[in-house]
A and B are shown apart, each in its own frame.
Chain A
Amino acid sequence: MKIKAVLLIFIICFFAGNACAASAAFENNIYNPGELKPTDSVLKVGVGDEAPAFTLPALSGKTVSLSDFRGRKNVVISFVPAAWTPVCSDQWPGYNIIQDIFESNDAVLLGITVDNIPTLFSWTNQMGKLWFDVLSDFWPHGSVAASFGVLRSDGMAERAMLIVDKKGLIRYIDVHNINQRPPLEDLVRELEKLK
């Protein structure tokens, strides 16, 4: 019986040690939620539909409405689930170095999360100065995400990419596996179709 108890303690310690080692692999400020259900919502919009109108506060201090771009710019909307999580933190910094690709396709980028402005401020400060607007869909919580049908049951948004053209029509929807980053080429290919 004593031998079994010792072995049990050994097993617990061994696995606990591995868990600590795994968590140390992440940046100190990034919370790892583990593998999540790939998608957890039901879309309320489709390609060809008019995009739901919204107005949200931006990190810059202004408010941004989707209608601001009607007739002027294509709009790429990048919903990401939450600040301070692994994949999200490795998505927008990539878009930050391709402003020229957006501009050459007459498009703007709006990044949206369900976090509040102070959290977005601290989080995006880690990414360098972003050229695009970051919008807070915090209150009423996730209402814009919900209007598109990309609000998950736990209150986070999906990792979703949409393109809205100058007429306000949705031209592309990718509700991506939340655990993975959408390949850049998919977005660029769809943007170039608008030309």
Chain B
Amino acid sequence: MFGKTSGLIVVILFLFTAIAVAAAESIPPKVGTALPDIDLLMPDNSADRKYLGLPSGGKTFQVGRIKAKVLIIQIYSMYCPYCQADAPNVNRLYGLLESNPALTGKVKLIGIGAGNTSFEVATYKKKYSVAFPLIPDADFKIHKIIGEVRTPYFIAVKITDGGRNEVVYSRLGALEDVEQFLGQIVRTVQSN
């Protein structure tokens, strides 16, 4: 009797642990933790590679290889009406980053097109004249790793020496107030 019960407990604990691990991989990134490892498709144009400080060659790269102190990641989709409406705001955010000498080169911005093919990413980029890199995630692989968040979703990570990173912002919703958003990111990074 004791043996059977013990066996049952072991099985349950194993199941519990396995499911807990799976669940941990599929929750949205939490502030104060490291972003899960995600392989981003290497941009095929030199301007995007130059902006991110990436060498040519290689099919994928990881966030830690981007030359920046802070990386803002927009999770979006060309099929998401809220993302479409928010596109001018995100473009303005990029403009603010690039026009402020204190931020240029230190705070960078990318978009990840959840479920979007390269063609769809290019279509969105052209439609909204997006000047920062947009990375396709055609098979939702990245989207699944970061908790299948709804879109648009914004994550900011602080990149430290050695390519380690720490999530400093993680929230669902459009950028209704770009200045406030950017101010929050800058203050959060400065206070850390």
* A residues in contact (CB < 8 Å) with B: 3-4, 7, 10-11, 14, 18, 21, 25-27, 90-91, 93-94, 96-98, 101, 126-128, 181, 183-185, 188
Contacts and interface: CB of A to CB of B under 8 A. Distances in A.
A90 B9 contact: no
A98 B19 contact: no
A183 B84 contact: no
Contacts of A21: 23
Contacts of A96: 81, 84
Interface stretch (B55-63, B98-106, B112-120, B155-163): B112-120
Given A7-B9, A128-B84, A94 B117 contact: no
B85 interface: yes
A162 B81 CA distance: 24
Contacts of A185: 117, 119-120
Contacts of B79: 90-91, 93-94, 181
A183 B149 CA distance: 21
B117 A184 contact: yes
B52 interface: no
Interface string B114-129: 0101011001100100
A111 to B, nearest CB: 14
Given A7-B8, A97-B124, A127 B81 contact: yes
Which 5 A-B pairs give the minimum distances between C-beta atoms? A94-B79, A185-B119, A90-B79, A93-B81, A128-B81
A93 to B, nearest CB: 5
A26 B77 CA distance: 15
A6 B136 CA distance: 47
A184 B120 contact: yes
B12 interface: yes
Interface string B135-153: 0001000000001111000
B24 interface: no
